[in-house]
Structure 1
Amino acid sequence: MQLTDAQYTLEHMQAFAMFNYLQLDPWYQDSVLFVDRQARVLSLTVTLDTALGKPKEVFRFGPESDPCSERLCPSISLSSATSAVLSDGGGRLQLLRTGKRGDGCQTKWEVLFSERLGDPFTILHSVSHVQAGVHAVEVLLLRVQKDPQETTGSGFCVFLEWVTVSGAAGQGPEKKMEVRKRRVLRGKSVPHYAAVEPQGRGLMVASEKPFVFTHVDGRPVEQPEPEPMEVEKADPLYFWQQTADDITLSLRLPEGVAREDVSFRLTADTLSVGVGGFPPLLEGQLYGSVDPEASAWIIKNNKSLEVTLQKLSEGPMWPELVLGNRRGEFVMSDEQAALIHDRLTHLTSEDLNGGADGEKPPCNSQELEDCDGFPEDGFSLTRFDGETLRPTQVVNLDGHQYLFTVDVDPTQMPCLCLRHDVDALVWQPRPDRPEDMWEHIATFNALGYVQASKQDKKFATCAPDFSYAALGECLRRAFIYRQPSPVETVLFNRKQGRQVGEVAKQQVASLDSDKPILGFRASNERLFILTSSNLFVLKVNNN
């Protein structure tokens, strides 16, 4: 897509210039789809490791009946295993019955609904579900438009439109699909993440600036009186440090608590700490195993409980203390921070053979500090209720850089990957668990640190089974980061003299093409890379 002169604003660049033209089918991971220059939706399914068939046409956009001078890229969203949602880039939304996809099935798609919904948009997300016995599709659209109320900057604002399309009740299985509800949100920054909950009961948005609902079915929404919003940023309940051998935990206690008032239970895999007959302050499964006999606790200064846990396996560092518990804060010592920096510096070199010459450093530390920074401008993750349109949960993400979004389970919402210190953590939204709505499900060690040096990075993603992560540049190169795996030979750390049991790997793939990379998706076994003339399929996992 070529942006017009009026579209060269920061909002347009963020929303459309980095558009991913390639769509991976989460129900059939060896299938990808894209729209070519002839307005055809092409599907390619990998059936053999050594042989790839040609992409097959499954749908073609009709003659352009809606004139539009500022068209956007056509976009595809697969709302279920047998349905899809399309945008022609000119403001028309189409719902289609795809039938079974993948496994060589290339049936023509059937149009169930087609309607122009105003100015051009791209589709961010869609879900299909049954509502009161009627098939409904929730679609989330993105627009960047001039706003008369915006008198500063470029005058453009970002709009999200949540559209519900469903069949009329009582008309049988082939009921006519039509728009049932349209809700518009307004914001001043392009969202990093936006998705509808599986049953259409809510909406989640992660953005640098807040979004608010402005219209429902064309009618303005009455804005509530401004009031301070409570943000989920409670003071840490405990602090913890770790070495390769042990863990030290400091837990705040109510004043006046005596030793006999403390309820402490520790097994090899679980920990429970409480006071008197009250619910435990900290309880759950430990990230790793410990030796209860070699562990101990004391009350320090009559206000905190200090626990020393002896790790059962020496060496591996824990990314969290108690699985799923986010009330604590990890405190890294200066020595540990310096050691991590020393270990990872060579990975940030743009030279494929960085550090081969001892007299030539692989990178410049000052440059690393510059590219390692990221904005801290009110970045937050908000969950909106679908009925009241009010925020129900807000999580402050300041200091946690957004990295990418990935579909892990097609029955769940897309996952959000954020940088936490040097690592990249993947979070799975759980809208059915209001008390613990975002679950940490995977960690990519050091990826947050390494990706900051890739100044030409355009795309980032990971395999749905988290076996590897991948970064794609604007031209030619893709970087693959494999999760740590056991080594077959004996390997020792030269500085510490300790045996290393697992090693992570970085691989670089250079494409035989000088065309810009337009699409970038990863399945468990393959990395798909789309250019204007070729679709490259890289076999990553051979097991």
Structure 2
Amino acid sequence: MSGVQVVPQELPINRDLLNPQFEGYKLSLEEIKIKEIKMPGPGVLEVKLADDQFSYQQIRAFSQINSLVSDPWNKGAVYWITTDLQIMGFNEGVDSITGASILAQIPKRLGDPAQVKEFHVGLSFPDASHAIVADGAGRLLQAHTPHRSTMPQEPWTVEPIDYSGSESAIMVATTTWKQADSDVFEVILLTIEETVAVNRDSSSSHKEFQTVLEWLTIKRGKENSWIVDRTRVLNGKTVPNYVAIEAGGKALLLSGESPFEFVSDTAKAVDVSNEAMDVESVPEVSEAVQPVYTWKQTAEHITAQFEAPSGLTAQQLHFSLTTTTIQLVHDSGKVLLEGSLFGLVDTDQSSFTVDNNKVQVVLRKSMPERWMEVVLNDARGREVFSDEELAAVAERFAGITSDKWVTQQDVNMTNPEQLEECDYLPEDTACWIRLDGESHRTTHKIDISGHQFLFSATLDPHELPAICLRHDVDGILLRPTESNNSAEPAATHVGTFSALGYVMASKRDKKFASCAPNMSFAALCDGDRNVYVYRNDAPIDSVLLNRKTAKVVKTIAKQYVLSLEKVGRIVGFAVSDASVFVLKPDALLVATL
């Protein structure tokens, strides 16, 4: 591993896509037509948590299940699973008159129906002519789905995949690519596993739950059957908000509040030392180990000092410095300093000297900011403070500190019920990372701490799904860039929904959220009857003049509130460029905007 660390990138905000003059959404009184699509046969398959599924991870994973699956390759097409394990579909462009149709039958689960547990059945479309099904019984199926954009659709041809896994596995991502003119499918399954951990301070143990991602590579076998050719397993602590597979199965992209790491790979061994590559890990330093160097700082300078052997000269050291990196190496190959600097420096006013058996490096800061370390992720240095600095810090905190221990009577607990939902932020470790599928290493990381996850959406089926995060009050859409070069940006800012972050924070009962593939509007719904649509640039028929700026206003931001008369829980939600689809246990509702 050689201790290589990935430098976290900042959110790639494109200021040209932000609207600081946004004044809010105008409630539209336009009547939105809502059509109820008849559902032949039984209702929608609903799966509830079992009695033994009580952990936070299991509840969170279950809450993310959307029973209505949109087809990114055919805009306006949606699919769902019935209680009889039938796959039903509806295309608003061709099925408006005939209604929904039955496309395939998933093989029944084995055993006594009264005793067989029901788990979520997953459906995903890796390309325009195939589908992958996780049947909720630990099996995977591949379906050939020709002419999904036409009506009536041809019946799907369902083939089993030679795989047996966890019944409770949830399919979270799929993709496909060609190898010698043969289809190869990449599938990610998520499961929550219970483990036993031993307490550090005693011999007792306790139960823990961990999130497991199983990355399957599926190919045609020798007998022309579908087999799992490769299996990679990753472990993490929490359920990720976003999972995607890069084209060609090259890498895995994850967003969440804890890191994931490879633990096994059937194609090659996983180097356990790769944990050092994890962008969230920092090398531990024993208190008994003396630091290699000490350093101090002022508003203008950073000064690092090394103890040097007698007879060392400046000619024996090789010094290289840029505005962002430093390298100080001895002729023997011993590294004194090497890597990315914490901040920017002025190279013309920075230098190093060798005097009295000490090597001193002086760096001139480009900006008067406080540094937390000299070289990123280098724990060999120790910052030292002068007596004057320590006295100044003590004086600054004199009014809020004490030399007496806090007693139980002095504790004033904060009531979390007094906090608004918008006050809750992700954990400090929240990040968006790219994990290379061959090296098992993290190549990119974007720090998204403090930016709430809003939703993810597929804007273009040929591109990776975009993720929408809260930035200030807005919702910004970021799309990953497919690159193995850690120096290149990990994502691109492609769109903005003004004030959407603020709006969604106020919707405490929000269940699903998404946006149109053309980014013309965002939509969200609660768990029962209300749908909210936010369009940034809705055209207007009349001519309006802004009195403040004297400019002609051609578009305004509109909010649509749809109240569904159909009773029942909302179990699925999808959005196309022109419609919003809401799935209830016995009906599909289509609102055309």
In the superposition, the TM-score normalised over structure 2's length comes to: 0.64
Structure 2 residue identity aligned to 1:138: E
Q: Which has the higher contact order (CA 8 A, sep 6+)?
A: 2
TM-superposed CA distance for 1:374, in Å, is: 2.1
Deviates more, 1:450-459 or 1:389-398: 389-398
Structure 1 residue identity aligned to 2:232: R
Give per-residue Cα distances to partners, 1:403-442, cap 9 Å, x unaligned.
Answer: 1111111112111111111111111112147412311111
Q: Distance in 2 between matches of 1:514 and 1:36?
A: 19
Kindly indicate whether the alpha-carbon contact (under 8 Å) linking 1:469 and 1:480 is maintained by their aligned counterparts in 2.
Answer: yes
Matches within 5 A, 1:19-418: 19-47=65-93, 51-65=96-110, 70-120=117-167, 121-149=169-197, 155-168=208-221, 175-217=224-266, 221-224=270-273, 226-227=275-276, 229=278, 254=346, 369-418=420-469
Give per-residue Cα distances to partners, 1:304-360, cap 9 Å, x unaligned.
Answer: 8xxxxxxxxxxxxxxxxxxxxxxxxxxxxxxxxxxxxxxxxxxxxxxxxxxxxxxxx
Aligned equivalent of 1:492 = 546
Kindly indicate whether the alpha-carbon contact (under 8 Å) linking 1:368 and 1:453 is maintained by their aligned counterparts in 2.
Answer: no
Kindly indicate whether the alpha-carbon contact (under 8 Å) linking 1:160 and 1:185 is maintained by their aligned counterparts in 2.
Answer: yes
Kindly indicate whether the alpha-carbon contact (under 8 Å) linking 2:431 and 2:447 is maintained by their aligned counterparts in 1.
Answer: yes
Kindly indicate whether the alpha-carbon contact (under 8 Å) linking 1:213 and 1:221 is maintained by their aligned counterparts in 2.
Answer: yes
Listed as ranges, the gaps of 5+ residues in structure 1 are 238-251, 258-301, 305-365
Q: Distance in 2 between matches of 1:481 and 1:368?
A: 26
Kindly indicate whether the alpha-carbon contact (under 8 Å) linking 1:78 and 1:126 is maintained by their aligned counterparts in 2.
Answer: yes
Kindly indicate whether the alpha-carbon contact (under 8 Å) linking 1:372 and 1:453 is maintained by their aligned counterparts in 2.
Answer: no
Q: Distance in 1 between matches of 2:94 and 2:116?
A: 43
TM-superposed CA distance for 1:400, in Å, is: 1.2
2:528 to 471, 475, 486: 475
TM-superposed CA distance for 1:107, in Å, is: 1.3
Kindly indicate whether the alpha-carbon contact (under 8 Å) linking 1:150 and 1:156 is maintained by their aligned counterparts in 2.
Answer: no
**Count, aligned residues:** 413
Deviates more, 1:37-46 or 1:219-228: 219-228
The structure-2 alpha-carbon separation of the partners of 1:399 and 1:109, relative to structure 1 and needing over 3 Å to count, comes to same
TM-superposed CA distance for 1:117, in Å, is: 2.2
Q: Distance in 1 between matches of 2:130 and 2:111?
A: 24
Kindly indicate whether the alpha-carbon contact (under 8 Å) linking 1:92 and 1:114 is maintained by their aligned counterparts in 2.
Answer: yes
Give per-residue Cα distances to partners, 1:342-392, cap 9 Å, x unaligned.
Answer: xxxxxxxxxxxxxxxxxxxxxxxx978453432233111111111111111
Kindly indicate whether the alpha-carbon contact (under 8 Å) linking 1:43 and 1:58 is maintained by their aligned counterparts in 2.
Answer: yes
TM-superposed CA distance for 1:31, in Å, is: 1.1
> Secondary structure, in 3 states, of the residue corresponding to 1:490?
strand
Deviates more, 1:113-122 or 1:185-194: 113-122
> Secondary structure, in 3 states, of the residue corresponding to 2:429?
coil
Higher-Rg structure is 2
Kindly indicate whether the alpha-carbon contact (under 8 Å) linking 1:44 and 1:53 is maintained by their aligned counterparts in 2.
Answer: no
Structure 2 residue identity aligned to 1:95: Q
> Secondary structure, in 3 states, of the residue corresponding to 2:131?
strand
1:461 to 503, 514, 536: 514
Structure 2 residue identity aligned to 1:382: I
Give per-residue Cα distances to partners, 1:50-82, cap 9 Å, x unaligned.
Answer: x44322111112121268855321010011100
TM-superposed CA distance for 1:144, in Å, is: 1.1
Q: Distance in 1 between matches of 2:274 and 2:464?
A: 31
Q: Distance in 2 between matches of 1:478 and 1:203?
A: 33
Give per-residue Cα distances to partners, 1:212-266, cap 9 Å, x unaligned.
Answer: 11122399844116537557xxxx99xxxxxxxxxxxxxx894769xxxxxxxxx
2:582 to 524, 529, 539: 529
Kindly indicate whether the alpha-carbon contact (under 8 Å) linking 1:256 and 1:303 is maintained by their aligned counterparts in 2.
Answer: no
The structure-2 alpha-carbon separation of the partners of 1:209 and 1:109, relative to structure 1 and needing over 3 Å to count, comes to same
Pairwise CA RMSD: 3.0
Give per-residue Cα distances to partners, 1:100-136, cap 9 Å, x unaligned.
Answer: 2022142111123333422121111111110243321
The structure-2 alpha-carbon separation of the partners of 1:153 and 1:43, relative to structure 1 and needing over 3 Å to count, comes to farther
The structure-2 alpha-carbon separation of the partners of 1:225 and 1:184, relative to structure 1 and needing over 3 Å to count, comes to closer
> Secondary structure, in 3 states, of the residue corresponding to 2:160?
strand
Q: Distance in 2 between matches of 1:48 and 1:127?
A: 26
Listed as ranges, the gaps of 5+ residues in structure 2 are 1-46, 200-204, 281-322, 325-343, 350-364, 368-416
The structure-2 alpha-carbon separation of the partners of 1:29 and 1:61, relative to structure 1 and needing over 3 Å to count, comes to same
Kindly indicate whether the alpha-carbon contact (under 8 Å) linking 1:113 and 1:178 is maintained by their aligned counterparts in 2.
Answer: no
Structure 2 residue identity aligned to 1:204: L
TM-superposed CA distance for 1:526, in Å, is: 0.7
Q: Distance in 2 between matches of 1:2 and 1:520?
A: 18
Structure 2 residue identity aligned to 1:503: I
Give per-residue Cα distances to partners, 1:268-323, cap 9 Å, x unaligned.
Answer: xxxxxxxxxxxxxxxxxxxxxxxxxxxxxxxxxx968xxxxxxxxxxxxxxxxxxx
The structure-2 alpha-carbon separation of the partners of 1:167 and 1:226, relative to structure 1 and needing over 3 Å to count, comes to closer
Q: Distance in 2 between matches of 1:511 and 1:454?
A: 17
Kindly indicate whether the alpha-carbon contact (under 8 Å) linking 1:9 and 1:154 is maintained by their aligned counterparts in 2.
Answer: no
